[in-house]
Structure 1
Amino acid sequence: MLFLICTRLPITGSFLFLTSLFAFGFVVQAEDPIAYSDYRGDREELRTEERFIPRYAVAGGYISWASDADFSSTLGSLSQWETGVQANVPFFETDKIRLTAGIQYRYNRLKFTGALGPLANMDFDLHRVDIPVNFWADLNPRWKLWLRLQPGWYSDFDNVGSDDFILTTLALMSYQWNEKARIAFGGYYSRDLGEPRLLPAVGFIFEPDPQWSIALTFPRAEVAYAPNRDWFIAGRVFLSGSGWNITDPAGGSNDVDLDYKSMRIGLGVERRLSGPWWAYLDGGAQMGQEISIEEAPYVFERELDASVFVTGGVKLRF
């Protein structure tokens, strides 16, 4: 019923013309749940919803800091922080379908101290630019479709070429099983988890009452609670990371891929500031951290000890 096509392709004029525009925002993650009011006659109900079919016209910005992480079996440590902004707008909409486009930018600062091998005491300023195009369709009262096509550039921007380009794609169907349960399935390809990979997108959402949501949306799990229309609290476990095409830190003539991945376990709190504006703060632990260099004439792969992270930002929702 549903299939996924994805690749990492060289840049060509015709290809960019056809695809110029995230399968993540996980994204993908199916995107973060939100709290919102559902008006039914004179009665207002509060509920939480895992955004397999995310709301459009979303914008926001954030900054995230992580404590130093020591290499597990050798000398050295890694410190890092990141910041990012995004904006999405609808440019075609009917009662049954929506088409949106946007732009996302993320900056990562990685600093290595006392490390062995090519990373030594190097600092990296890393950039990621994505141009997501999303298509949503309400096929009937139970079935919904989400397609995402997202070209992006992941680089230190020292020497931008075709190796800096990556195409992320998502295809997802969701089905309303009953009043309290929904399922979603499909697949996505992304390098957002630290290395290129193709993963199934499988999810199950259980809402025992209007204020609670339990979501198992591989590779993410979440328990969310909305005590009222202005607060939202969620505990999450999910994979994190990214990859960038960079100048070889060992001095080689060819670029290499620097990949970082981790698993984050944390708690997030969101507060409505005014109207569609929300502020949020997340914190927790980063575990299973790993840094590696690919496409190089040498082998470099290191594990890091656990560290803590804190993320704060604002979101604009409609």
Structure 2
Amino acid sequence: MFFQSPQAVFRAIALCTLILSGITGSVYAQKGASNLEDSGSAKGRSLRHRTIFMPRDQDPDIKQVSQSPQVPNVLDAESREALGIPPQLLDDEQDWAEPEDECIDCETFVPLISHKSATGSVTWLPGSGDELGIFTLALSETVEFPRFEGFTATPRFGVHYLDGPIRTDLPARVYDTSVAFRWFNKVNEKWSYELEVAPGVYSDFKNVTSDSLRITGKGLAYYVHSRSKQFVMGVVYLDREDIMLLPAAGMIMWFSEGSRLELIFPKPKFTYRVEKDESKERWLYVAGEFGGGSWGIRRGATGFDDIATYSDLRLMGGVETKHTNGMISQFEIGYVFNRKLEYKSDIGNYDISPTGMVRYQLTF
């Protein structure tokens, strides 16, 4: 059982630590973070902050991050930040990005590399016996290159602790290691595009061969159609044994500044802002995900190398809190179904019963 082993205790401690970090996060706000600016306008202004590395403006939309193992987000935090609220929702005369500090005749130092965000998350899919349980710890750090506008790099590391199944010989742990290189470019007021490539090793670290080397990525184009509507089109490359490529298409609709629908395959999402004050914004959301991954493993019973692929579908609801110091906490629960475990050798394939999901994520 999950709570009857040293590993279980470790997992519970990790989960509690991240949750406590989110609760107390507003206390350790960076000293360089800026306060909420009050423009005096009747229509108000967006939340903005400054990092300790370099000043930058914060777009008014929520930065929502939601990860499934090895499945690139159709719209990740950087995509949402770059797109922001469509210009048609703003007044032509309104300035949402005026500089906080202006210095005439001053030379501005532009660093080669700077911190953009870091993310830590824990995800638990309960299970025991033949009902596969998965406990995941994931870390990532995104850095940007100010001299190359729109370019970022994100090293990622994740470990999946596997509970069961008894009927087949999965290893106790599998790992995700990758670096994602992303470029977002705005062509004009109507068109923008995004490219990402992420080479990585996905393995139990016993089978580190060509079976464990994978390259994921995506190519997306965005088109601003009307006052409150954007279209998205492109592809998401998974490089998995079960599915290599998925189309990504749909639309983003703003019903108001605090209500947004991302009707995009394969990750639809609806968010609604329920609270906004001087220190934070709080949003509720419902979303769907296509989860899973492929890992190179060494079969314990026979000792031969194989590739294990796990896949599932997820329906989730959650709450996201965005602080003015730039920190974002996210808690969600969900239902996981259509679960499958398959091997490249076809030895030990089977369908897994549905389960629940709990995830906590902290971005700062």
| Paired position in structure 1 for 2:125 | 66
**Whole-Å Cα distance in 2 between the matches of residues 25 and 114 of structure 1?**
25
Equivalent positions of 1:87-236 (< 5 A) are 87-93=141-147, 97-115=149-167, 118-119=168-169, 123-191=171-239, 195-227=242-274, 228=276, 230-236=281-287
Deviations 1:60-100 (A, max 9, x none): 10111112177xxxxx2212210101111111446xx4111
Change (3 A) 1:226 1:167: same
1:31 to 76, 79, 82: 76
How much has 1:25 moved relative to structure 2?
7.8
The letter for the 2-side match of 1:290 is K
Paired residues of 1:61 and 1:85 also in contact (CA < 8 A)? yes
Larger radius of gyration: 2
**Whole-Å Cα distance in 1 between the matches of residues 246 and 301 of structure 2?**
32
| Paired position in structure 1 for 2:308 | 258
**Whole-Å Cα distance in 2 between the matches of residues 275 and 39 of structure 1?**
24
How much has 1:195 moved relative to structure 2?
3.1
**Whole-Å Cα distance in 2 between the matches of residues 195 and 218 of structure 1?**
18
How much has 1:277 moved relative to structure 2?
0.8
The letter for the 2-side match of 1:128 is D
**Whole-Å Cα distance in 2 between the matches of residues 209 and 26 of structure 1?**
29
**Whole-Å Cα distance in 2 between the matches of residues 174 and 182 of structure 1?**
7
**Whole-Å Cα distance in 1 between the matches of residues 187 and 231 of structure 2?**
15
The letter for the 2-side match of 1:260 is Y
Instruction: State the Cα RMSD in Å.
Output: 2.9
SS of equivalent residue, structure 2 residue 257: coil
Paired residues of 1:191 and 1:197 also in contact (CA < 8 A)? yes
**Whole-Å Cα distance in 2 between the matches of residues 24 and 289 of structure 1?**
14
> Whose relative contact order is higher, 1 or 2, with alpha carbons under 8 Å and at least 6 apart?
1
SS of equivalent residue, structure 2 residue 205: coil
Deviations 1:174-228 (A, max 9, x none): 0001111100111121147x73411111121111111111111111111111232
| Paired position in structure 2 for 1:267 | 317
Calculate percent identity across the aligned residue pairs. Answer: 19
* Structure 1 runs not aligned, ≥5 long: 1-21, 45-55, 71-75
The letter for the 2-side match of 1:233 is L
How much has 1:136 moved relative to structure 2?
0.9
Paired residues of 2:198 and 2:217 also in contact (CA < 8 A)? yes
Change (3 A) 1:79 1:270: same
How much has 1:124 moved relative to structure 2?
2.0
Paired residues of 1:23 and 1:150 also in contact (CA < 8 A)? no
Higher helix share: 2
Paired residues of 2:202 and 2:213 also in contact (CA < 8 A)? yes
SS of equivalent residue, structure 1 residue 163: helix
SS of equivalent residue, structure 2 residue 226: coil
Moved more, 32-41 or 146-155: 32-41
Paired residues of 1:243 and 1:257 also in contact (CA < 8 A)? yes
SS of equivalent residue, structure 2 residue 177: strand
**Whole-Å Cα distance in 1 between the matches of residues 70 and 209 of structure 2?**
24
How much has 1:106 moved relative to structure 2?
1.0
Higher strand share: 1
Deviations 1:128-151 (A, max 9, x none): 011000011110011001000110
**Whole-Å Cα distance in 2 between the matches of residues 308 and 278 of structure 1?**
24
SS of equivalent residue, structure 2 residue 164: strand
How much has 1:274 moved relative to structure 2?
5.1
Structure 1-normalised TM-score?
0.76
SS of equivalent residue, structure 1 residue 175: strand
Change (3 A) 1:25 1:246: closer
| Paired position in structure 2 for 1:11 | none
**Whole-Å Cα distance in 2 between the matches of residues 25 and 165 of structure 1?**
12
Equivalent positions of 1:290-309 (< 5 A) are 290-294=340-344, 296=345, 298-309=346-357
Change (3 A) 1:310 1:269: same
How much has 1:23 moved relative to structure 2?
12
How many residues were matched structurally?
A: 269
The letter for the 1-side match of 2:117 is V
* Structure 2 runs not aligned, ≥5 long: 1-66, 97-114
1:77 to 131, 136, 142: 131
